[in-house]
Structure 1
């Protein structure tokens, strides 16, 4: 148990039996009346974002969320198998928990798996990953980075937009949150 005065970004609360992550919070002390805490909460399992106001000093139930560094091993058809980098224990994370992150997971990739009572809640990927372009149409003479973009398929089979001058086999940096091309990586 904690009070609303102890809230921090990223803290996970249990409200009405559901897990909510604190996205933003603001302590407000109006000229008249008692102080209160205005929060923006994101549902851990649903992803839904809501605003909620608490009176200052009110007790709230916190959830014990264990965030572990894990390495992605393979997809076994029922889910994604990860290995804890500390004790080498393996864990299968369901596809719905992995979600869009599957577009950027290669064997051996590092990620953080958040767990509550032994159940995986969500996956935290690094902000960007380096991927190789496995297929894209060849560029034409005179194509420059400011001229436009073309579709390219990366190692995981996900398709991104890249500048016209990039070719198959080029390594690129991709934003895992938006799926956007960030730049070319020189070996």
Structure 2
């Protein structure tokens, strides 16, 4: 595995530190008045979700891990486990439903999800950035209310509440950004 200097760490990098796999969540470069500069890195453990704040000096070497990414299709959920199928080998794997966190409601049947592997262990799942959802409940459209940039609450078919522009009505399909969990555009 390639080693990188402590000042080359970027958010999203996967690192091997203290015999564990960590993903860098936040990276801040600090130059104190006395002493050398360092990178203050907030990391999250990929296996158990614990967090760690660590300082890395420029001279410190850290193992950067490359995760293998595979597109897999979501099949169904059973007993709190999500079942995915590799579209090349038709092999099925189960991952805990909480691996997606608060983005879980956006997972739809047959959706293609990127699963990240380290050796043969599945560590992370990433949804597509944009998902189409249907608005099931929102305030009615009011004509002439477009003078200011305003938003109104809307309930989606998956139970998630998002803020939408005033021209979006009930039973309309919208596209939601799964990263920010906000309205993106009309479908």
TM-score, normalised relative to structure 2: 0.75
**Paired residues, what number?**
182
In the aligned structure 1, how far is the partner of 2:22 from the partner of 2:163?
A: 34
In the aligned structure 2, how far is the partner of 1:48 from the partner of 1:62?
A: 18
Contact 1:161 1:181 (8 Å CA) reproduced = yes
Contact 2:26 2:43 (8 Å CA) reproduced = no
* 5+ long unaligned stretches in structure 2: 30-34
TM-score, normalised relative to structure 1: 0.75
What's the counterpart of residue 162 of structure 2? 160
How far 1:177 sits from its partner (Å)?
1.6
In the aligned structure 2, how far is the partner of 1:47 from the partner of 1:166?
A: 40
Which aligned pairs between 1:1-187 and structure 2 lie closer than 5 A?
A: 1-5=1-5, 9=10, 10-22=12-24, 38=39, 40=41, 42-45=43-46, 46=49, 48=51, 50-56=53-59, 60-63=62-65, 65-144=67-146, 146=148, 148-185=150-187
How far 1:47 sits from its partner (Å)?
6.6
How far 1:112 sits from its partner (Å)?
1.0
Contact 1:101 1:123 (8 Å CA) reproduced = no
Contact 1:13 1:21 (8 Å CA) reproduced = yes
Change (3 A) 1:76 1:65: same
What's the counterpart of residue 30 of structure 1? none
